[in-house]
Chain A
């Protein structure tokens, strides 16, 4: 098939009561079945509308706030997909597995690939040096059932987020892929999107066409809101990304989408209601062969060869998500600025419709290791609106903006080929390909 219809479901997860003692397996299943009742309606509706695959969120069946002990009743033993198993028709083959059976039947009865996130448990013994003291490994796991209900992929989340104390890190990275009539797919989960292993490897080495991405993503403006970041990943990595987020406004969780390399197909961001949402879009099965496949970008080509803009105004420090940036203020309605930290220099040229007295913008740069809730090295160039007119608030989250930019060009002397371009508009909405373009020399600029 040249194209296919993809669906993602942003699910408002029904959460278990917080408890310090484990509930019974029956109570755990009752809670999971409540969530599966909701997912079932979404899966049926997606299939009726022609979708061939649907992605549901991380933590979408059992929720969160678990300890290692309290999540145990929610876990099932998930076998290697090589065993060739259809849980819907052989529910007892691998012991207690009611959730896998129900997911398999939903896929089979609706003739649709179903991607879901559940928990896997694997017993181990004293001969295993790494075996936890309670005698089992517990894994945050993504599963895929094909349109016949067969388990075709199992992925143990490799890069656990700091708060996931209920799960074990897999010893080695595993690469979960599955072939369909509509292209080759890869899987990773939430925090993995920051990683080389497995996220980049799935794309660069395994040459997948599409990624299915269950996530439970807490939005953090200005840089790491789900829709802008995930859509920029699809654009930069040049694959389809089917991103299903949980929906919980109290936890800042919203933002799901279907993203293609050449365009954002559809996205959902809603901090006003507590509703779930089904999204569907048609995608190219093999985007690498498309005529409008994005050209390769040399992200530092322009910036390394342009003379830095000089300014007599002082730079100032600011903090974004625990990282110390260097900023310079955009003091006029039109201008050119360069700001540098370590090996990274960022260049900005811009023209505002007018310079408002009640809004302050700054150009920021960061070149360093992020060390909170995980460690990863970043090089960032960002133009952002400060929270107030006080420069000390530059980098703090802000949701609305009235200053309009007629023209802009942003570039940087990056020492990596993995650069993700994003523009967030007032209301945390997304600027689309109609608004901006990325030139092959690495400039992110407005379309004229």
Chain B
């Protein structure tokens, strides 16, 4: 139980039913 030097602690949730059919087919791309 050594105290932790935390950079980030995360609960990362994915709501699949709100996704488009395929992840890579979004209209937006990184400029």
Q: Is the CB of B9 within 8 A of A375?
A: no
What residues on A are CB-neighbors of B7 within 8 Å?
Answer: 221-222, 384-385, 398-401, 424-426, 428
Interface size on B, residues (CB 8 A): 28
What residues on B are CB-neighbors of A223 within 8 Å?
Answer: 8, 10, 12
Q: Is the CB of A403 within 8 A of B11?
A: no
Q: Is the CB of A421 within 8 A of B10?
A: yes
What residues on A are CB-neighbors of B27 within 8 Å?
Answer: 371, 375
Q: Is the CB of A401 within 8 A of B5?
A: yes
What residues on B are CB-neighbors of A411 within 8 Å?
Answer: 11
Q: Is the CB of B26 within 8 A of A375?
A: yes
A222 to B29: give the CA distance in the assembly, Å.
21
A424 to B10: give the CA distance in the assembly, Å.
9
A402 to B22: give the CA distance in the assembly, Å.
41
Q: Is the CB of A421 within 8 A of B16?
A: no
What residues on A are CB-neighbors of B29 within 8 Å?
Answer: 162, 372-373
What residues on B are CB-neighbors of A408 within 8 Å?
Answer: 6, 9
What residues on A are CB-neighbors of B10 within 8 Å?
Answer: 222-223, 380-384, 421-424
Q: Is the CB of B6 within 8 A of A416?
A: no
- Chain A interface residue count: which class? 35 or more
Q: Is the CB of B1 within 8 A of A447?
A: yes
What is the minimal beta-carbon distance from A336 to any residue of chain B, in angstroms? 15
What residues on B are CB-neighbors of A195 within 8 Å?
Answer: 16, 19, 23
Q: Is the CB of A382 within 8 A of B23?
A: no
Name A423's contact: one of B8, B15, B22 (CB within 8 Å). Answer: B8
Given contacts A169-B22, A369-B18, contact A384 B11 (CB under 8 A): no
Secondary structure type dominating chain B contacts: mixed
Q: Which among A299, A369, A400, A411 has the highest number of chain B CB atoms within 10 Å?
A: A369
Within 8 A of B (CB), among A403-442: 403-406, 408, 410-412, 414-416, 418-426, 428, 431, 435
Q: Is the CB of B5 within 8 A of A403?
A: yes
Q: Is the CB of A379 within 8 A of B26?
A: no
Name A161's contact: one of B12, B14, B24 (CB within 8 Å). Answer: B24
Name B16's contact: one of A161, A384, A416 (CB within 8 Å). Answer: A416
Name B22's contact: one of A158, A229, A361 (CB within 8 Å). Answer: A158
What residues on B are CB-neighbors of A17 within 8 Å?
Answer: none
Q: Is the CB of B24 within 8 A of A416?
A: no
A381 to B8: give the CA distance in the assembly, Å.
10
What residues on B are CB-neighbors of A410 within 8 Å?
Answer: 9, 11
Quick check: is A309 within 8 A (CB to CB) of the other chain? no
What residues on B are CB-neighbors of A419 within 8 Å?
Answer: 11-14
Interface readout for A383-397 with B: 1 if CB under 8 Å, 0 if not?
A: 111000000000000
A35 to B23: give the CA distance in the assembly, Å.
30
Quick check: is A377 within 8 A (CB to CB) of the other chain? yes
What residues on B are CB-neighbors of A428 within 8 Å?
Answer: 7
Quick check: is A194 within 8 A (CB to CB) of the other chain? yes
What residues on A are CB-neighbors of B8 within 8 Å?
Answer: 221-223, 382-385, 422-424
Q: Is the CB of A159 within 8 A of B5?
A: no
Q: Is the CB of A377 within 8 A of B30?
A: no
Name B15's contact: one of A221, A361, A416, A435 (CB within 8 Å). Answer: A416
Quick check: is A378 within 8 A (CB to CB) of the other chain? yes
Q: Is the CB of B12 within 8 A of A380?
A: yes
Q: Is the CB of A380 within 8 A of B11?
A: yes
Quick check: is A226 within 8 A (CB to CB) of the other chain? no
19 contacting pairs across A/B (C-beta < 8 A):
A159-B24, A196-B19, A221-B7, A344-B13, A371-B28, A374-B24, A375-B26, A377-B14, A378-B14, A380-B10, A380-B12, A382-B9, A402-B5, A404-B4, A404-B5, A419-B11, A422-B10, A423-B6, A435-B2
Since A377-B18, A383-B9, A416-B13 are in contact, a sample of 17 more A-B pairs with Cβ atoms closer than 8 Å, ordered by chain A residue number, is A200-B16, A232-B12, A344-B13, A346-B11, A371-B26, A375-B20, A377-B15, A377-B19, A378-B12, A398-B7, A408-B6, A419-B13, A419-B14, A425-B5, A444-B11, A446-B1, A448-B1
Top-7 shortest CB links A-B: A375-B26, A404-B3, A377-B18, A379-B13, A222-B8, A196-B16, A426-B5
Chain B interfacial positions (CB closer than 8 Å to A): 1-16, 18-20, 22-30
